[in-house]
Structure 1
Amino acid sequence: MRLLGIDDLAACQRLAEDREWGPEDRKWRFLFSVGDVYAVDDENGELAGTVVSAPYGKDVAAISMVLVAKRFERRGLGGRLMRYVMENAGTASLCLTATEYGRPLYERLGFRSVGKCTTYTGVSDGPSRRGVSVPVRTEDMVGVHELDTEVFGADRSRVVEGLPAFCETLRVVRDEGGVVGYGGAWWNDGRAVVGPVIARDDETALALVDEVVPEGPIRLDIDHRHPELVAWAEAHGLRPAFTTTIMEYGAPVANDPSRRYLPVAQALG
């Protein structure tokens, strides 16, 4: 097992394509900037498997990109990768989003299901209203960080600090007390991912979605605990693409799903 650096990006993308995933250049670069990317090499020096651990202080680490080359599948390598990050994360909890293919492995390792998420895709006409939110300013980032920590249940400093550069659009809603919601969208392999969206209530969250969504192909990863977002997606012509399972390990994550509307990416919790 070795820790990778950004120079290993192309090798990670070759492995992803071996598993029929997209190159996801923007997402991989962000993961390298906020998390630890581990891998196992084969006898020829090519990547046999990867896993990413993004620790948020000592509270929780988000696990993602558990990839095993086709030539090594069903030989226990996925379990080895997972056990390594589980033993070395140094956090009270772990979280991940599991496909149906990967879920049995995580269940055997002791992860428990805490929810479902359905990915909706389609084509957007662009922002449908303006005026509730405003573009984020440097001085807003303290409030964004405080709100994110309160709602997510852990300090995601590196993720939050990276959002202004990572997101194509990042907007906030303020009241007299400060930031009460923030939302963004970023491009991934020719499709805009709408998220993160964290807000005090449904009205604020939906306004943010309306105002950050770009024109063109879009994707929303919607937690089943937010039917108002499902209704928004269906009203805008989006259709379900696939469903994943939200899973945790260790101490329950002290987050507030009622105010976590859309993730930055499923890979980051």
Structure 2
Amino acid sequence: MTSPLPPLPATLPVRRLGPGDLAACSELAVSRDWGAEEHKWRFLFGHGTGWGVDAPDGRGLAATTVLTRYAGGLAAVSMVLVAARYEGRGLGRRIMTHVLGEAGDDTVTLHATDRGRPLYEKLGFREVGTVVTHRGTFRPPATDEPGRAAPRPAGEADLPALLALDAEVFGADRSPLLRDLPRFAERTLVTEEDGRLTGYASAWRNDGTLVVGPVVADTTAGARRLVTAIAHDTEGPVRLDLRTGDPLLHTLPAWAAAHGVLPAFPNALMVLGDRDLPGDDARRHTPFMLALG
């Protein structure tokens, strides 16, 4: 039987990452069978704080994570990666302990893969839901709902109403991210009824895949209309990160699968301690990205 590897030296520091570390972050992600996701890493570094541990052998980064904090006391942890050659030597726990200290008294959330979940549970996280990532070539429905105005491109004049709706639904202020959507996303659409903004959706590219998120809508039917409008003419794969569980409440997964976007892998939505996530889960249909809570 192989003996467990000893923990790495306690003096190995966790340091703040900067733009010069982006290439090393992508390299570590690729080594762990994630995509390079350079567009995503750059956005996260622009709106959150990256933390990392330099590899003792001088070969890039041994571990990474990103902490994104929102006004209102909510924080998301993401991009928790440990180089395979250092796995099982305490780096994941060390970098998570550091970043939780940085989060202070915020309510902390993350999406966990099966690989990372045991560590998060030991640190006090509990599962509050499941989000299943769906991928595939989207086949739009043959007809739209009659009597409904089609989603339209978002304009600058829509921003105040969009920010107000998002803060109500998300339960925290993520306006800096949303103000950055024109630069980051390919497109953003909105729906309205009687002059009132009822929903919006954005779509952005991640290593050749069109990620649809966030999707905020007053009804599931409204979410379907937004997804259809934003993804109907897409070449290549579409990704949707969808809550699952109650088949009567969470109907988007079955609808997405029926239109070619199939379930690929699950993620546990987790919260630290006994706190609840703020906001209105019924109108929050997909996250901006799993990394942002």
SS at match of 1:15: helix
Corresponding position of 2:124: 110
Question: Does residue 188 of structure 2 align to residue 188 of structure 1?
Answer: no
Amino acid at match of 2:37: E
Corresponding position of 2:269: 246
Corresponding position of 2:63: 49
Of the candidates 241, 244, 250, which is equivalent to residue 224 of structure 1? 244
Gaps of 5+ in 2: 1-13
Q: Percent identity?
A: 46
Of the candidates 284, 287, 291, which is equivalent to residue 260 of structure 1? 284
* CA RMSD of superposed structures (Å): 1.7
Question: 1:200-239 residue pairs with structure 2 within 5 A?
Answer: 200-213=218-231, 214-224=234-244, 227-239=250-262
Question: 1:14-93 residue pairs with structure 2 within 5 A?
Answer: 14-43=27-56, 44=58, 46-93=60-107
Q: Could you tell me whether the CA contact under 8 Å between 1:58 and 1:91 is conserved in 2?
A: no
SS at match of 1:164: helix
Q: Could you tell me whether the CA contact under 8 Å between 1:112 and 1:249 is conserved in 2?
A: yes
Q: How many matched pairs? A: 269
Q: TM-score, normalised by structure 2?
A: 0.87
Q: How far apart in 1 are the matches of 2:72 and 2:255?
A: 36
Deviation at 1:175, TM superposition (A): 2.7
Q: How far apart in 1 are the matches of 2:161 and 2:108?
A: 26
Amino acid at match of 1:107: E
SS at match of 2:137: strand
Q: How far apart in 2 are the matches of 1:29 and 1:113?
A: 28
Q: How far apart in 1 are the matches of 2:15 and 2:141?
A: 44
Q: Which has the larger radius of gyration?
A: 2
SS at match of 2:282: coil
Gaps of 5+ in 1: none
Q: Deviations over 1:197-233 (max 9, x none)?
A: 0011112111111101133211111101553211221
SS at match of 2:25: helix
Structure with greater strand percent: 1
Q: TM-score, normalised by structure 1?
A: 0.95
Corresponding position of 1:99: 113
Q: How far apart in 2 are the matches of 1:38 and 1:189?
A: 23
Q: How far apart in 2 are the matches of 1:63 and 1:107?
A: 14
Q: How far apart in 1 are the matches of 2:99 and 2:73?
A: 15
Deviation at 1:91, TM superposition (A): 4.1
SS at match of 2:260: coil
The 1:231/1:34 distance shift into structure 2, 3 A limit, reads: same
Q: Could you tell me whether the CA contact under 8 Å between 1:126 and 1:215 is conserved in 2?
A: no
